[in-house]
């Protein structure tokens, strides 16, 4: 069962802690739930993940009582449709750079009259016929976020934030640093996050970003950012494995 509280409602009450998932085993999702995360962002953009695998991970997240976001490989209509029909609670759309792109994203994500999406009663989107209220209820609970991660997207931040039906702006600091030609810890990125948080606040929508750990999380929270994506499954595994291997090898040496 998907969580009973809509993501926007959750965020209005308290911060939301999620992490990226690129590994294909649903056991990973269960472990993340056991670690105390509120949800996962299933990464099709960088994870080389087919929608059949993403669907399995969504079901695993719901079985664990977590939210399941999907970051699709792009913002084409088919990619959006696949992620939502698989049952995603929310979308994190990559490389959104213009008002027109964000408006198309919102339209493809919602059923009429808010959008142009087609309805089927027996998919993950409708909880396989178990969703009370039909399309209207799904429109109300869906969470659509635009990821700002290029210089062009940052320049169009205010216009993107003004798109009706958009639920959140999300800063992607890694690609944004490359696009701006600055270091990952450059002050330009902190300024970009502050601008994003202000734009979201002015439109009464939510703000999110990726963080590597507690120091970045503290900086984001000080700016009013309530949705944090902390690390990712592969990075956590590598970090823990390196630490354990190093500790044991020190003993063996």
Catalytic residues: 46
Q: What is the rounded distance in angstroms from the CA atom of residue 235 to the CA atom of residue 219?
A: 21
Q: What is the rounded distance in angstroms from the CA atom of residue 129 to the CA atom of residue 120?
A: 9
Contact between 80 and 72 (Cβ < 8 Å): yes
Q: What is the rounded distance in angstroms from the CA atom of residue 241 to the CA atom of residue 207?
A: 32
Chain mean position to CA 155:
21
**What is the chain written as a DSSP string?**
---SS-HHHHHHHS-EEEEEE-S--HHHHHHHHHHT-SEEEEESSSS---HHHHHHHHHHHHHTT-EEEEE-SS--HHHHHHHHHTT-SEEEES---SHHHHHHHHHHHS-TTT------TTSGGGTTTT-TTHHHHHHHH-EEEEEE-SHHHHHTHHHHHTSTT--EEEE-HHHHHHHHT--TT-HHHHHHHHHHHHHHHHTT-EEEEEESSHHHHHHHHHTT--EEEEEEHHHHHHHHHHHHHHHHHHHH-
């Amino acid at each position: 069962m998907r969580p009973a509280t809509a993501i926007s409602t959750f965020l209005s009450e308290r911060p939301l802690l999620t992490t990226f998932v690129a590994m294909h085993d649903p056991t990973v999702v269960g472990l993340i739930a056991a670690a105390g995360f509120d949800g996962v962002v299933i990464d099709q953009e960088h994870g080389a993940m087919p929608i059949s695998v993403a669907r399995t991970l969504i079901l695993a997240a719901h079985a664990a009582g977590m939210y399941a976001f999907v970051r699709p490989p792009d913002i084409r209509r088919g990619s959006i449709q696949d992620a939502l029909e698989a049952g995603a609670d929310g979308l994190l759309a990559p490389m959104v750079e213009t008002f027109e792109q964000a408006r198309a994203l919102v339209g493809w994500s919602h059923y009429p009259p808010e959008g142009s999406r087609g309805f089927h009663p027996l998919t993950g989107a409708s909880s396989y016929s178990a969703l009370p209220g039909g399309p209207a209820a799904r429109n109300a609970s869906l969470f659509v976020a635009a990821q700002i991660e290029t210089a062009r997207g940052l320049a169009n931040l205010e216009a993107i934030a003004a798109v009706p039906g958009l639920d959140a702006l999300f800063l992607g600091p890694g690609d944004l640093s490359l696009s701006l030609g600055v270091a990952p810890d450059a002050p330009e990125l902190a300024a970009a996050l502050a601008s994003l948080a202000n734009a979201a606040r002015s439109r009464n929508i939510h703000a999110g970003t990726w963080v590597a750990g507690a120091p970045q999380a503290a900086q984001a929270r000080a700016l009013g950012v309530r949705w944090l994506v902390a690390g990712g499954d592969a990075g956590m595994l590598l970090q823990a494995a390196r630490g354990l291997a190093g500790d044991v090898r020190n003993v063996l040496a």
